[in-house]
Amino acid sequence: MAKNIETSIDAAIEAGKINGAVICATNAEGHFIYDKAFGFRTLLSGVKVPQRLDDVLFLASGTKLITTIAAMKRVEQGLLSLTGDLSSVAPDLAAKQVITGFSDDGETPLLEPAKQPITLEMLLTHTSGTAYSFTNPLITNWSQKFDPPGDSPRPVEEAFRYPLAFHPGTSWMYSVGLDWAGKVIERVTGRTLGENVKQSICDPLGITDAQFYPVTREDLRSRLVDLNPQDPHAYGRAVVGGSGDLNRRAQGDFGGHGLFMPAADYIKILHSLLANNGKLLKPTTVDNMFQNHLSQEASPGYQAARAGPMGQSFRVGIDVETKTGHGLGGVVTLEDVEGWYGEGTLTWGGGLSLAWFIDRKNDLCGVCALQPTLPDFDGEILEMLKQNFRRDIYHKHAAWKEQQQTV
């Protein structure tokens, strides 16, 4: 049985493993509500104040779901299609070649033209061939030789200018696809990704406290968890394990990681998709997001990644034996997990400290945002706490439903 959320989080705070946490969960009707803030955050001055539900959090890869929604809105408007060739919108992306290795002396990359065009669906499901430099050894090697890290901020096109790791549509690897998707949205609309998110997502849900890095609004900075003595530039170092490079080197709005928002607002997005209330997207579009979009050709690569060295991150708390695929926005379960996720649950996270899920079959969604301590970052504790959240919130929901039946 899962450990109690409150007990485990309080113990982690007492042990100095985390400073605080914010957890929000609800059902489609909004009658079941679990909103709690734990612990404290530290101001830039060093003063500690209680953690609050409206504290502004670095979402890291929790941004990917929001970028996906913005992209699907443009599909509904006819500005994009899921399966169409993106070369006319993103010729720089289309021109990328596939790296297959290096010459015998290790100095010259071996490249070949992509065998098929990249589509929006591929970008949203990590099957485009793009990759993070840390997820593919060939890309890591290429980056070290031809694109060493620098201190100057760069836009998406320059930050991720390395080759493709595999031919589009033929495999799976966690990637910068959502950053490119954000760039595609900007090009077809003529507006920044932040402006698109505000218009398509924030405004319909009454969300006013969201901004891509750097957070410049003073009313948000005063509630910014990641603005503290250990992170004076608010890079979000604690969320990603101590490094602030993702934001420090970013110029513009990065759709894969760059958004800051309170958990109390993020749950509004999850709830809208759970309820499928039409505020963000058409019901049929939302239904499509919860389908498995991996092709037969790409699926083996996905299964290999789940079972590989980084598999724990890619499985987001789900056993490797459980059948899963990839929807639009996150991993999707392809079967029920007894006492937990129902078939068709969509889930992902952000950095090492954020987790979210939407379970339409069991009528529940939730987000957990932990605030790790630096420099003593403990990844195992964070995984345990996230899993306690994922499991125990189901027990709390079940207890609530049982109580309702007796009223």
List the catalytic residues: 61, 64, 174
Question: Which tokens hold the place of 375?
Answer: 């420099």
- Type of residue at 369: A
Question: Taking the CA of residue 279 as centre, how many other CA atoms within 13 Å lie in the half-sphere pointing to its CB?
Answer: 16
Distances (CA, A) of 154 to 137, 149, 340: 23, 11, 42
Cβ within 8 Å of residue 81, ≥6 positions away: 75, 119, 120
Rounded distance, CA 377 to CA 386, Å? 15
- H helix count then E strand count, the chain: 16, 13
CA distance 120 to 183: 11
CB 234 within 8 A of CB 5: no
Report yes or no: 20 and 373 within 8 Å, Cβ to Cβ: no
- Backbone phi, then psi, for 231, in 5-degree steps? -145, 65
Work out the angle between the directed axes of helices 177-189 and 63-76 (0-180°, nearest 10).
40
Scanning 249-309, the segments in alpha helix (DSSP H) are: 263-275, 283-289, 299-307
Please give the Cα distance from 187 to 79 (Å, whole number): 10
Sign of CA dihedral 350, 253, 223, 261: negative
Report CA Rg, the chain. 20
